[in-house]
Chains A and B, each alone.
Chain A
Amino acid sequence: MATLTYRDALNQALREEMQRDPNVFLMGEEVGVYQGAYKVSRGLLEEFGPKRIVDTPIAELGFAGIGVGAAMAGLRPVIEFMTWNFAVLALDQIVNSAAKILYESGGQVPIPIVFRGPNGAALQLAAQHSQAWESWLSHIPGLKVVAPATPADAKGLLKSAIRDDSPVIVLEGEMLYNIKGEVPEGEHIVPIGRAEVKRPGNDVTLICHSKTVTVALKAAEQLAEREGVSAEVLDLRSLRPLDEATIVKSVSRTNRAVVVEEGWPQCGIGAHVVDVIQREAFDQLDAPVLRVTQADVPMPYNKQLERLAKPSPERVVAAARRVLYLD
């Protein structure tokens, strides 16, 4: 297995899928000449040329719509948003066009498109540039939503997304692009809709995705070292469809759960996961399920305040202690 950064794993996925299928193209701000705002598309313009690596004006609604239109006419666009914060300008195309056209056409016009880019907070980017949009996006029938946490999952899920005939949202992370991990050589596909246990455990399930997987893994380490608690870390990987069976299986074994996410508390991913657990594993629960989210405020700029706002291993440990009645 090769060790790759998350960024290079995504780059490999794009390169391999573009080599495999001439109908795949990449479009977005700075993806070509500049080599990508976060260098995910490095080297692709040289290999595939400007016809398939298409620089756009700063016009998210417009180029997202061009992507959907191109998909209607048989291409397989990958639309890069410099960040999902800017993609809010394109929500009409994602929600009203990409997610609706197959249904409202009675199944005649599939939209095989990928919308991807970094989601959630990085460091000190303040309120408008630090938002996690997964609960908004996964609310919408007609979309699939994935949020890989590791280089291997990033590669495997992006490849699945590009091959999927439905619109797929791929949530990456600025703070994830530099992380390294092992990525299997050759054809590596991660199917959409399957969660994965990233660390097995018996006493409590920490349910997480994307950047909060690292947070949960650190919390699990601390719980093991300081409390002798064996925490299972369950990475959702896909948020729609959600792998309900794997969540229920894990919680039915540990009998306790904490859901960790970067988004705000109200109507968050965790709220939906808790709904699944109370419905499907009610009798197996030994404690109420708790959630760790971003503080219910716009993200502050100040470093100390920002740290307080974000989910942290300490907050996850505290929540785990509560569901284990250790306090």
Chain B
Amino acid sequence: MATATARTANASAPPPPQTELERRMLRQMLLIRRFEEKAAEAYALGKIGGFCHLYIGQEAVAVGSLAALRDDDYVISSYREHGQALARGVPATAVMAELFGKATGCSKGKGGSMHLFDAGRRFLGGHGIVGGHIPLAAGIGFAIRYKDGDQVCICYFGEAAVNIGAFHEALNMASVYKLPVIFCCENNRYGMGTAFERVAAVTDVVEHACSYDMAAEVVDGMDALAVYAATERAAERARKGGHPTLLEVRTYRFMGHSMSDPLHGVYRTKEEVEEQRKRDPITQLAHKLKEAGALDDAALDALDAEARAQTDEAARFAEQSPDPDPAELITHVLAD
């Protein structure tokens, strides 16, 4: 099967010089930002249906963490996964086409925004039940260990998933079986419209690791390099001893929970969102590179123009792609 096909690992490649890594991360974050803005536009025009959860504000988490991993590592995520798919290298055209429900989408138009898959890149979804995919990540880790591999599986979920049983069962077993999994909690502070502190007895997600004797770290999710470094440490822990790690990456979503929700209002104030926007991970990284003399306005504009061109092309591709053939209705129900 496709997921079992080994891909060339880049483990032996020397780590990129920091500014080069940062430039690469900036480029990816810009791509995600512009892609999501385009998705919002297409949603408003009715070209994307159903639920559509945007990643704007959280770009540093996907980009920083995936930059620290190898091509043969596994990635699994929740329904807010456009950013991770793009950071993993799933072509923007295939992701946008999937959002449009087209046959050329990365899941052939059958998954949509919440179920992006690219088995060849070991990007294993896109899962729509809060917390439901956390045990799947442990299972992928189990398979890695079973085959004596040195890969890791990174699993993204929001802080709201920490209140569900699947999280606790998976973390316990990952620790008992010593599974090479990075549990990456993207704490954006709100489960839909409910502030975490209103529904969680323990508001520091990282504390939960104590219950499972697991390594853990709190990470600034607005700092791509910090996320990169923490992921690198977690990956090393996983590759050496198969030990899992819980990362609590503190971030913020600048948009509503999904396209049908308001940006602010009943559950958070406009002022709060504006205050958080000052921590914009893209602005921060661009500023840092400029300070270091590694980027000027013209170069930043060029990167941004490139990101816009890519998303324009993705939207054009999605628009022009065909719907799935009606015969596709009944394919892929069973494997035979």
Residues on A close to B: CB < 8 A? 25, 51, 54, 56-57, 59, 61-75, 77, 92-93, 96-97, 101-112, 141-142, 144, 164-166
Contacts and interface: CB of A to CB of B under 8 A. Distances in A.
A174 to B, nearest CB: 25
A290 B102 CA distance: 47
Given A69-B135, A108-B3, A164-B336, 8 more contacts: A57-B173, A62-B166, A66-B138, A70-B143, A105-B107, A106-B111, A106-B117, A109-B117
B107 A108 contact: yes
B169 interface: yes
A281 to B, nearest CB: 25
24 contacts: A51-B146, A63-B173, A65-B132, A65-B136, A69-B143, A70-B139, A72-B3, A72-B124, A72-B140, A73-B143, A74-B1, A74-B3, A74-B147, A93-B136, A102-B334, A103-B332, A104-B115, A105-B119, A106-B106, A106-B111, A107-B108, A108-B118, A108-B119, A166-B336
A70 B336 CA distance: 20
Nearest to B134: A65
B105 interface: yes
B109 interface: yes
A142 B135 contact: no
Nearest to B108: A106
CB-based closest 6 A-B pairs: A69-B139, A65-B135, A62-B169, A106-B108, A165-B335, A73-B143
Contacts of B335: 102, 110-112, 164-166
Contact of A104 (B126, B137, B165): B126
B172 interface: yes
Contact of B110 (A59, A67, A70, A104): A104
A104 B139 CA distance: 19
B314 to A, nearest CB: 18
B127 interface: yes
Contacts of B331: 107
**Chain A binding surface, main DSSP class:** mixed
Contacts of B48: none
Interface in B25-74: 74
Contacts of A165: 335-336
Interface in B298-336: 331-336
Nearest to B122: A73
B292 interface: no
**Chain B binding surface, main DSSP class:** mixed
B210 interface: no
A103 B128 CA distance: 14
B160 interface: no
A61 B165 contact: yes
Contacts of A105: 107, 110-111, 115, 117, 119, 125, 332
B333 A65 contact: no
B170 interface: yes
Contacts of B11: none
A125 to B, nearest CB: 25
A73 B141 CA distance: 9
A57 B127 contact: no
Given A72-B124, A108-B117, A61 B169 contact: yes
B107 A59 contact: no
A96 B333 contact: no
Contacts of B105: 106
A300 to B, nearest CB: 30
B294 interface: no
B266 interface: no
Nearest to B330: A141
Contact of B146 (A56, A70, A166): A70
A101 B177 CA distance: 25
Q: A51, A59, A77, A111: which has the most chain B beta carbons within 10 Å?
A: A59
A138 B302 CA distance: 56
Nearest to B172: A57
B256 to A, nearest CB: 24
A65 B139 contact: yes
A304 B22 CA distance: 75
A62 B133 CA distance: 10
Q: B110, B111, B335: which has the most chain A beta carbons within 10 Å?
A: B335
A92 B170 CA distance: 14
A92 B166 contact: yes
B129 interface: yes
Contacts of A65: 132-136, 138-139, 166, 169-170
Nearest to B118: A108
Contacts of B128: 96
A145 B165 CA distance: 27
A73 B333 contact: no
Contacts of A142: 333-334
Contacts of B117: 104-106, 108-109
Contacts of B146: 25, 51, 70, 75
Given A141-B333, A142-B333, A73 B140 contact: yes
A73 B75 CA distance: 11
